[in-house]
Structure 1
Amino acid sequence: MFLIKNVHGNTVDHLGEAIVAGRYGVGASIPPEPVLCQELGVSRTVVREAVKSLIAKGLITTGPKVGTRVLSEDHWNWFDPDVIIWQSKAGLTPEFLRDLQDLRRVVEPAAMRLAAERATAQDIAEVEAAYAGMKHAVEHGGDYVTHDLRFHQGLLRASRNRMLVQMSKALGALLRTSFEISTRRKDGPVHSLPLHRAVLDAVIAHQPDEAEIAIRVLIDGAKEDIEEVLASRRRLPVLSSPARQLKAA
């Protein structure tokens, strides 16, 4: 990871991970610039730019006489992929995962209704390609999660609503969290594949009611997968790692 990101990105990661992991408590000050420069081996400019990035993500605030202080997680930008990755490294909590499922139940059914009304031939072709990738991964092994993500993001784009299209980008890391966990369950992808097909078929047939029902069934299945994994106390995924590869059937 260090070799992939530049100095700025590594500095943001170092501080962001420390904050999300609780090494700097809420209301606490992060170390001053000279200390961070020495600790991380970077310039003051790099530290200042990293601080600006963390302010934009809602993790810290700064002001005269109060210094740079850590904000509570209620202020964090939970649509920022970096924040999600840092949380996965610190440990995905049941509360976080249940919040994610609630969000999916609010957003995706409405988006599927719109997709069933507005999807173009190109939209359908992109989602079909994603589904084909999922099916291939189930039958022959490979990267199921990435294709699953493309499937859902493609349907969000097919809603032809600019705000939902923008949200599809922001939801990427959140959705991947759910999909990574679902694939941990034995035969999870095998059981969810026909549920995905039902959603896509309803969109192709321009049936909004059926599309909404189908996506709710799919989301409820994912919720059961997550609850089972949580109950088993199995290790949860770390999103900075490559997507899990399915083995050939």
Structure 2
Amino acid sequence: MGKAERIHQAIARSLGTAILSGRYRPGDSFEGEIEQSLALGVSRTPYREAIRILVAKGLLESRPRAGTHVTPRARWNLLDPDVLAWTFSGEPDVNFVRGLFELRGIIEPAAASLAARRRTEEQVEAMRQSLAAMERYGLSTEDGRTADQQFHRSILEATHNPALASLASSVGAAVDWTTRYKQRHQLLPRDPLPEHLAVFAAIEASDADRAHGEMDELLRLAFEDTVATLP
């Protein structure tokens, strides 16, 4: 069962990456599952499961008698953590990266402002520990990137707004993959820890306006760093 899971996830990743990179375009038809599974050297079951994953993420639609087609880009769930991972496995389009940071710029400064007003001492301590781990491990390591994601997640949770907190996985994935991308293309990328510390200091001080401004600055610099690494 575990092996079958790995197979269908690998197929979904391969096909999803091909769609996102433009190898398959909206409206393109996939051959029947028998032909595709034979071409991939797998049984029909994992191929069928992979297609279901891509349908759930909005990349494909499958209809009786009409077959399976790539959907228009507007229907793609671009904030799905897997879709973000597949996008950044290649060379993402600068407009996509800009759009991602514009979305974060709408959500995270406002969230930091709310967190400054509503955070608990336990949440402040969780942020402090995340920053300590970021400093200890660095963002070139898995542990450091996990700590970075947890810091941003803690801010969303500290808003005590369930709708905002539900965005934690998407925001965390965006943080993770843009950081991985920068690390992949820059041997010595700029250290973003000072901006994170500034956001934390404002939240800890319950200064909502400053928290908003510091998060805005953090995202501005992160966007500049990411764009500088794009081809």
Give me the TM-score of the superposition, normalised by structure 2: 0.88
Q: Determine if contact 2:81/2:169 at 8 Å carries over to the other structure.
A: no
User: Which whole-Å CA distance do the structure 2 matches of 1:60 and 1:228 have between them?
Assistant: 32
> Which position in structure 2 is the counterpart of 1:57?
57
> Which position in structure 2 is the counterpart of 1:45?
45
SS at match of 1:194: helix
User: Which whole-Å CA distance do the structure 2 matches of 1:170 and 1:180 have between them?
Assistant: 15
SS at match of 1:25: coil
Deviation at 1:207, TM superposition (A): 1.2
User: Are 1:216 and 2:219 counterparts?
Assistant: no
Deviation at 1:187, TM superposition (A): 5.2
Counterpart of 2:134, as a letter, is: M
Gaps of 5+ in 2: none
Check 1:41–1:180 CA distance in 2 against 1; reply closer, same or farther (3 A cut). Answer: closer
User: Which whole-Å CA distance do the structure 2 matches of 1:219 and 1:185 have between them?
Assistant: 21
SS at match of 1:68: strand
Q: Determine if contact 1:185/1:225 at 8 Å carries over to the other structure.
A: no
Gaps of 5+ in 1: 234-249
User: Which whole-Å CA distance do the structure 2 matches of 1:61 and 1:121 have between them?
Assistant: 47
User: Are 1:87 and 2:76 counterparts?
Assistant: no
> Which position in structure 2 is the counterpart of 1:247?
none
Check 1:95–1:4 CA distance in 2 against 1; reply closer, same or farther (3 A cut). Answer: farther
Q: Determine if contact 2:5/2:46 at 8 Å carries over to the other structure.
A: no
User: Which whole-Å CA distance do the structure 1 matches of 2:73 and 2:6 have between them?
Assistant: 26
Deviation at 1:156, TM superposition (A): 1.3
**Structure 1 vs Structure 2 CA RMSD:** 2.4
Deviation at 1:164, TM superposition (A): 1.3
SS at match of 1:220: helix
Aligned mate of 2:190, from 185, 188, 191? 188
Deviation at 1:216, TM superposition (A): 0.8
User: Which whole-Å CA distance do the structure 2 matches of 1:53 and 1:116 have between them?
Assistant: 38
> Which position in structure 2 is the counterpart of 1:159?
159
User: Which whole-Å CA distance do the structure 2 matches of 1:4 and 1:114 have between them?
Assistant: 44
Q: Determine if contact 1:182/1:222 at 8 Å carries over to the other structure.
A: no
SS at match of 2:22: coil
1:123-134 correspondence to structure 2 within 5 Å: 123-134=123-134
> Which position in structure 2 is the counterpart of 1:8?
8
> Which position in structure 1 is the counterpart of 2:76?
76
User: Which whole-Å CA distance do the structure 1 matches of 2:5 and 2:176 have between them?
Assistant: 21
User: Which whole-Å CA distance do the structure 2 matches of 1:186 and 1:46 have between them?
Assistant: 41
Counterpart of 2:77, as a letter, is: N
Q: Determine if contact 1:27/1:71 at 8 Å carries over to the other structure.
A: yes
User: Which whole-Å CA distance do the structure 1 matches of 2:4 and 2:196 have between them?
Assistant: 34
User: Are 1:116 and 2:116 counterparts?
Assistant: yes
Deviation at 1:37, TM superposition (A): 2.0
The Cα offsets for residues 184-223 of structure 1, whole Å up to 9 and x where unpaired, read as 374511xx22221111111111111111011111111112
User: Which whole-Å CA distance do the structure 2 matches of 1:71 and 1:27 have between them?
Assistant: 6
User: Which whole-Å CA distance do the structure 1 matches of 2:89 and 2:223 have between them?
Assistant: 21
> Which position in structure 1 is the counterpart of 2:30?
30
Counterpart of 2:148, as a letter, is: D
> Which position in structure 2 is the counterpart of 1:104?
104
> Which position in structure 2 is the counterpart of 1:175?
175
Deviation at 1:23, TM superposition (A): 2.5
Deviation at 1:132, TM superposition (A): 0.3
The sequence identity of aligned pairs, in percent, is: 34
Counterpart of 1:201, as a letter, is: A
